[in-house]
A and B are shown apart, each in its own frame.
Chain A
């Protein structure tokens, strides 16, 4: 089931660049976010207006979210969580543009982000607690430690897998439904599903960011 026509893929064919559509559209999302960030911070005024106002609202929502879930010591991790949230949201919303492919509909993009979160969680855990971070994996009683270590390890490995597949399944499933509706009713068929697409985009961003925040908060807190 192939998307009928993708603009950036056609452009890349003209210059003989053979990369998957998810890479090309990820570049588009990156360029978009960088341009918006540049434009919003060019002349910072005390009383914001225009795009600076909008981006300040977005940053405030993210900061309040992180502070609610992680406490004041979570402010250090705002760049990672904020970048993930904005990138995933823009990638998901690009799916609604005709002839665009959401980069998050490919498991590679999602796996990259999920592995980054996995690495960050354990790096932060080791940096915060030293070698005592391993006590997080042993559970309440030292007698059960080897048994619980294996269980906790499986649980930790399941985290990036679930993050990847949840986001991939939602976005790719939505693309497939849109293409089926497009085949049934050529021009306006996908329109109702696109409204659900906006809802799904926001909810999946929220869930990914919330889970990242909870995992990092779990690595920061004391063991059981």
Chain B
């Protein structure tokens, strides 16, 4: 299959896997946070702050994958090389 087809497949599948991993991890964090607030409603503010920080940290992993996907699709460093090789044939 062509180079650019593979680029698109990789970007899409990579982002999917990142979204799945991010979703599962964040849900585990939120479950424990909500249980903590249910046990101790007074500490609700602090627990929610910590939960939001944790969510932002986990989210950033999916965002790294997004950045790599954007680079592959829009700032691909090998595009010219591939085009030259294809034109040379």
Q: Do A and B bind each other?
A: yes
A residues with a Cβ closer than 8 A to B are: 1, 162, 165-166, 168-170, 172-173, 176, 203-204, 206-207, 210
**Contact at A169–B53, with CB atoms within 8 Å?**
no
- The interface residues of chain A lying within 8 Å CB-to-CB of B67 are 165, 168-169, 172
Instruction: Sample 28 A-B pairs with CB under 8 A, ordered by A number.
Output: A1-B74, A162-B60, A165-B60, A165-B67, A166-B56, A166-B60, A166-B64, A168-B67, A169-B64, A169-B66, A169-B67, A170-B60, A170-B63, A172-B67, A172-B70, A173-B63, A173-B66, A176-B70, A203-B52, A203-B56, A204-B56, A206-B52, A206-B53, A206-B56, A207-B53, A207-B56, A207-B60, A210-B53
- Is B17 in contact with chain A by the CB < 8 A criterion? no
* Number of residues of chain B lying within 8 A (CB) of chain A: 12
18 more CB-based (< 8 A) A-B contacts, given A165-B60, A173-B63, A207-B60: A1-B74, A166-B56, A166-B63, A169-B60, A169-B63, A169-B64, A169-B66, A170-B59, A170-B63, A172-B70, A173-B66, A203-B52, A203-B56, A206-B52, A206-B53, A206-B56, A207-B53, A207-B56
| Residues of B contacting A: mostly | helix
Question: Looking across the interface, which residue of chain B has its beta carbon closest to that of A107?
Answer: B67
Question: Looking across the interface, which residue of chain B has its beta carbon closest to that of A176?
Answer: B70
**Contact at A165–B53, with CB atoms within 8 Å?**
no
- The interface residues of chain A lying within 8 Å CB-to-CB of B66 are 169, 173
- The interface residues of chain B lying within 8 Å CB-to-CB of A207 are 53, 56-57, 60
Q: What's the count of A-B pairs with C-beta under 8 Å?
A: 35
- The interface residues of chain A lying within 8 Å CB-to-CB of B74 are 1
A169–B74 CA distance with the chains assembled, in angstroms: 14
A165–B63 CA distance with the chains assembled, in angstroms: 8
- The interface residues of chain B lying within 8 Å CB-to-CB of A165 are 60, 63-64, 67
Question: Looking across the interface, which residue of chain B has its beta carbon closest to that of A203?
Answer: B56
- The interface residues of chain B lying within 8 Å CB-to-CB of A166 are 56, 60, 63-64
